[in-house]
Amino acid sequence: MAVMAVHQFAQCITCHAWSPDQSMVALCPNNNEVHIYRLVEDKWEKVHVLQKHDQVVSGIDWSTRSNRIVTASHDRNSYVWNLEGSEWVPTLVILRLNRAALCVQWSPKENKFAVGSGAKTVCICYYEQENNWWVSKLIRKRHDSSVTSVSWHPNNILLATTSTDGKCRVFSTFIKGVDAKDSVKGTLSDSKFGELIVQLDLSSSWTFGVKWSPSGNTLAYVGHNSMIYFVDDVGPSPLAQNVVFCDLPLRDVLFVSERTVIGVGFDCNPMVFAADERGIWSFIRYLGERKTASSPSRYGSQFSEAFGKFYGQSKHGVSNDTVDTSRTRGAVHENCINSIIPLGEHGALTRRFSTSGLDGRIVLWDLENEHDILEL
């Protein structure tokens, strides 16, 4: 199996992020604090507690170049933390939100970060040296509901979002004085801040976990209807396809290569999706050992099986006559996996990554010996 290590940090983890050298991990134990652990002699020791938020921290991202941590919370605030000496010092971020901040991510050049919110807006934040704070420009009136995830294109300009209105959107975030004009090529060179590049109406349910491929040519996101969507040639005429599976919905995805995606979610076991030589995406297998892939004939019973899952089981691991008793929860996680984070530099191939979930565990995965996945 691809599991390297399993660490129990809390009863529940809402989000996590790694330091640039992976020697420390920052996580939220489902409260208003961020705990930072360092690996000391094969044991994780709590070395810092970041206390500034008033409500649950919903997003953490740790920059790889500047070693800064950005956090977002349901208290409608965001902070950028800088390590000064031995202490993490917060810097104010002016978000101007009237609803919870739900997700946050640094841009590839780390001169901006994006915050999705329950106020139907996305905040694009950048630093003002004169006032020593981070200010934001808002993308308004584009979403019809909460923004659940954000993802930066490798060009540092395009931003993809998902929302509980069932749509995935791509925006231009070009800010004069922050972004270089030559960083945008082609028809996007004249795009203005907040301009909607494309809106994808592929899902009839909530959407989550949007990600770009390493090249930026493919976009993937998931729906709460147990479907995953892949979009090529993002622009006026995108090429889209979807994959239906018979398990519980996914919450997040990660491109481990240009043609391979790992999805995680309510089924507690990472799922592998890949594209063939024709560019057709399909489900390959589960990454954990305790599950076997469903046969194609089971796909027709998705509706009835879903009802059995939601109403016929009182808790994870307990089955009745409605559900196939040979299907069990993941061998590692015991509750919903809510995030998947790459370990190391973001390149064309990601061999190592981590997952965290509502069971309070962070699991480290290594694909080094998963030859069937690396060869896809």
**What pLDDT sits at residue 374?**
65
For 236, the 3-state DSSP assignment is: coil
pLDDT at 11 over 70: yes
Paired tokens of 216:
């930026």
Least confident interval from 11-15, 47-51, 92-96 = 92-96
Closest CA to 51 of 38, 67, 36: 36
Range with the poorest average pLDDT among 20-29, 135-144, 228-237: 228-237
Distance, CA of 270 to CA of 287 (rounded, Å):
5
Sorting pLDDT into bands at 50, 70 and 90, what band is 3? Answer: confident
pLDDT of 132: 83
Tally of CA atoms within 13 A in the half-sphere of 167 that contains its CB: 15
pLDDT at position 299 is 41
| 221 bridge partner residues | 229
Percent of the chain residues topping a pLDDT of 70: 84
According to the CATH classification, is domain 3-178+191-288+330-375 in 2.130.10.10?
Answer: yes
Q: Sketch the domain layout of the chain as residue ranges.
A: 3-178+191-288+330-375
The pLDDT value recorded for residue 278 is 93
Residue, of 189 and 34, whose pLDDT is higher: 34
Q: Label residue 184 by pLDDT band (50, 70, 90).
A: low
Q: Tell me, what's the pLDDT at 183?
A: 63
Q: Which amino acid is at 161?
A: T
CB contact at 8 A, 26 and 350: no
| pLDDT value, residue 368 | 82
Q: What is the mean pLDDT of residues 13-36?
A: 97
**Sign, Cα dihedral of 289, 291, 295, 299:** negative
Average pLDDT over residues 283-304: 56
* Contact by Cβ (8 Å): 232, 191: no
**pLDDT score for 41:** 86
Over range 2-27, report the average pLDDT.
94
Mean pLDDT of the chain: 87
The residue among 51 and 351 whose pLDDT is bigger is 51
Taking 50 as the threshold, does the pLDDT of residue 321 lie above it? no
CB 72 within 8 A of CB 98: no
Please tell me the predicted confidence (pLDDT) of residue 110.
Answer: 95
Q: Which residue(s) pair with 24 in the sheet?
A: 38
Residues 240-273 have pLDDT tens digits of 999 999 999 999 999 999 999 999 999 999 999 9
**What's residue 376's pLDDT?**
62
Instruction: Please state, in angstroms and rounded to a whole number, the distance separating the CA atoms of residues 286 and 273.
Output: 9
pLDDT at 92: 86
3-state secondary structure of 219: strand
Q: What is the pLDDT of residues 115-133, one digit of tens each?
A: 999 999 999 999 998 888 8
Looking at residue 57, its pLDDT comes to: 98
